Structure 1
């Protein structure tokens, strides 16, 4: 039997949950960082605005009480003073045209003194500051500015610390999500392995229940109960089938014996009613045996018990030798092509019966002068092909069902169970039996299931 190791297709749902958790953590840190940065920038601007406005108001009071000369003197005194916040001050007293009268600012920035406009400006030498202007008289205007490089440095340090902490949080979330997803994935793998083993007919062992239990434990419990229930139903089905078949077969055998005795006492011509009745009884008995065989093969699907390593090349060669005479008697040609050394895991009797059914069908339906081909290649892959009338297109989908018979020309009586039994045997061995698509005749292909 060919077995392929199955892998989980696509991305694991637990991997997707891990990525989603990391994404949410990154998004949350990014949003929090943006909100914090914007808030700090607004607070810094508000603080600068309050400091500059207070200093400007003080100088305006000095001008109002001491006049222009006192203002110019005070401005010169304040140039070298550093505020308590660590922000260096800059001043400019200019005439109505913006020409400097006093202070360390060379040119009037793009701020309206008449409107007491404030904002961030760049002074000479590239110094960045926050400034506010005011018009004191038609020919006099005042500008007060504060550097904010220390505020910007503090913001950069805070941003770095925030990003480091945020990276730590994201890393912690990622690690926790990874460990959690691995734990859940291992538990799900154990449940899947148990269900896969049950599907293959092997012993299924579900993982032990976790402390407290959760949804996975609940699913494992339901799976265990379902498999136990299924096994019980299959056992009951098999027992009932065997019992019914035995109970039906026994009176049929007795009836056949009585008819045989009656024919000995009162012989009749060939084809008489008693002889035909005995043929019908044997047909019913054969049908019951086939149904039991189908049920047995289906119930043992994937079960490795009773399977052994077979020399498939030897079996096919022996069948070819056996059917060569039958094909010759029917006026047919049997072409055989067998690759040597091919083995598989299976039951010799069932594999022989499967191939015999296919060869019987080919020889039965192909008219005299036709050709039957039997081929075995690596895989293993077996092809039984003929150039007979073939199977009608509208019956190809149902030809493997029970009691379905293709209405081919020259059809002979039967119960329509041969191909159903062949497919059940194939599935029991992990193989698929399907119809090939050829221009003329019928082609059956037997190969490992994907």
Structure 2
């Protein structure tokens, strides 16, 4: 609107100036004809008559009749400008205290010259009327465009919000509601494809869960039966050698069941990575404090020094059971590898930032990322040592499910695990 007004204003100025120039030429020709037919006295009278009339458009005329030396004879201009009457020169001049005007000079006789001018600094009411029209019309246009834009943006926001809600909570009712009855644009097409993809993903996840539960049941049941048989065999008071083998068998069964549950937990956490459904805000400080109080007795029994520093009021959106497992896995890992008499420290700060560090033997730099792989055992770790190599893998899967990162950072001595939000 501003650009259009500027163009229009310049066009009006140019048109009015052109009109003024033509009016000057016509006026000058008329006065020259009066002088030729009626003489100088009639010309002076006609100039006085014209000066007595003020035009309605405000473009007042100005005249000067002078002798060959520029001395004024008649008119309201008192000083001859730098215009040559011999060649009817025209140009911009100043009238009075500085009013701009366009003028043309001509020679009427060897000792008589005439100057006709019209003001150009004020182009009259026309420009003011056009300015008011542009101001009112522009304001109305802006309001109309703003209203239409707000309406379109609101509808677009609602459509995008419906997509986001479906991704956050893809229940059957929401997926059915977001499917458009007919396509009108690319967003409807995107909504339709998204609903189909979410429904397909939901079916795959449900099929995976059903299959996983079935496999877990089919494996856990015979192992449980086998453990019961071994228990009954131990109750029959077998010999020491047989009893020792039976106890080893029960330990293997328990390790297999724990491994199976860990694998299922890892798979479930990875499948729900980025899914915020089911996450609730809870006090992480209170949860970690309870865990530390429980592990204080275990550390004392195993001959370890255990210290913790927990900032109060750390709140977090997550599944409390899973995050409890993450913390306990890190502490179990430290108690397992730190020799007797070593120190384990846990700290929790805002962010949240959870740190578990120790002064144990540490982990080789080449293994700092590999330890988070499933079933990975470091080269210095005995193959018959307790554990299945799934604890840290499960901890990372739980962290990623909650948009957290877990990493083994360099430290002067021992290992230092840090869990924090992604991007911090």
Distance 1:421 1:193 in 2: 29
Quote how far apart the aligned CAs of 1:387 are.
0.9
1:48-447 to 2 correspondences below 5 Å: 48-68=20-40, 71-81=43-53, 87-124=59-96, 126-147=98-119, 151-197=123-169, 209=180, 213-245=184-216, 286-299=258-271, 302-304=276-278, 312=287, 313-325=289-301, 327-328=302-303, 332-335=304-307, 350=322, 353-375=325-347, 382-408=354-380, 412=385, 415-427=388-400, 432-446=405-419
TM-aligned CA distance change 1:136 to 1:35, over 3 Å: same
Hey, what's the Cα distance between the residues in 2 that align with 1:239 and 1:306?
25
Mean Cα displacement is larger for which, 438-447 or 72-81? Answer: 72-81
1:372–1:387 CA contact under 8 A, matched in 2: yes
| SS at structure 2 position matched to 1:403 | coil
Counterpart secondary structure, 1:158:
helix
Q: 1:68-110: per-residue Cα shift (whole Å, max 9, x none)?
A: 5554454445443556867543322212221123333222123
Please report how far the alpha carbon of residue 419 of structure 1 lies from its aligned counterpart in structure 2 after TM superposition: 0.8
For the 8 Å contact 1:309–1:345, the answer to whether it is kept is no
Whether the 8 Å contact between 1:392 and 1:407 is mirrored in structure 2 is: no
Residues 20-45 of structure 1: per-residue CA shift (max 9 Å, x gap)? xxxxxxxxx11211111111111111
Q: Provide the rounded CA distance (Å) in 2 between the counterparts of 1:276 and 1:74.
A: 133
Task: Describe the shift of the 1:395–1:320 C-alpha distance in structure 2 as closer, same or farther (beyond 3 A).
Answer: same
By how many angstroms is 1:309 displaced?
8.7
CA distance in structure 1 between the partners assigned to 2:172 and 2:368 by the alignment: 33
Deviations 1:410-435 (A, max 9, x none): 67475421111123344556765443
Counterpart-to-counterpart distance in 2, 1:227 and 1:324: 50
- SS at the partner of 1:92? strand
Instruction: Give the CA deviation at 1:260.
Output: 12
**TM-score, length of structure 2 as denominator length:** 0.76
Native 8 Å contact 2:94 2:100 kept in 1: yes
1:35 matched to 2:7? The reply is yes
SS in structure 1 of the partner of residue 163 of structure 2: helix
Size of the aligned set, in residue pairs, is: 414
CA change 1:202–1:287 in 2 (3 A) is: farther
Moved more, 285-294 or 70-79: 70-79
**Structure-2 residue corresponding to 1:46:** 18
The whole-number CA distance in structure 2 between the counterparts of 1:339 and 1:88 is 84
The 1-side partners of 2:66 and 2:126 are apart by: 33
Instruction: Quote how far apart the aligned CAs of 1:233 are.
Output: 1.2
Greater mean alpha carbon deviation, residues 76-85 or residues 394-403 = 76-85
User: Is the Cα contact below 8 Å between 1:389 and 1:409 reproduced in 2?
Assistant: no
Alpha-carbon distance change, 141 to 428 in structure 1, aligned in 2, over 3 angstroms = closer
Q: CA 1:410–1:334 in 2, change beyond 3 Å: closer, same or farther?
A: farther
Contact 1:87/1:150 (CA < 8 Å) preserved in 2?
yes
Seen in structure 2, the aligned counterparts of structure 1 residues 193 and 74 have a Cα distance that, compared at 3 Å, is: same
* Cα drift, residue 346 of structure 1: 7.3
CA separation in 2, counterparts of 1:351 and 1:365?
22
Report the CA distance shift for 1:303/1:403 in structure 2 as closer, same or farther (over 3 A): farther
Q: Is the 8 A contact 1:388 1:442 kept in 2?
A: yes
What is the CA–CA distance in structure 1 between the aligned matches of 2:358 and 2:313, rounded to whole Å? 25
- 1:350–1:322 distance in 2 versus 1, CA, 3 Å: farther
Q: Of the two structures, which has the highest relative contact order with CA contacts closer than 8 Å and spacing of 6 or more?
A: 1
Q: Distance in 2 between matches of 1:317 and 1:120?
A: 96
Gaps of 5+ in 1: 1-28
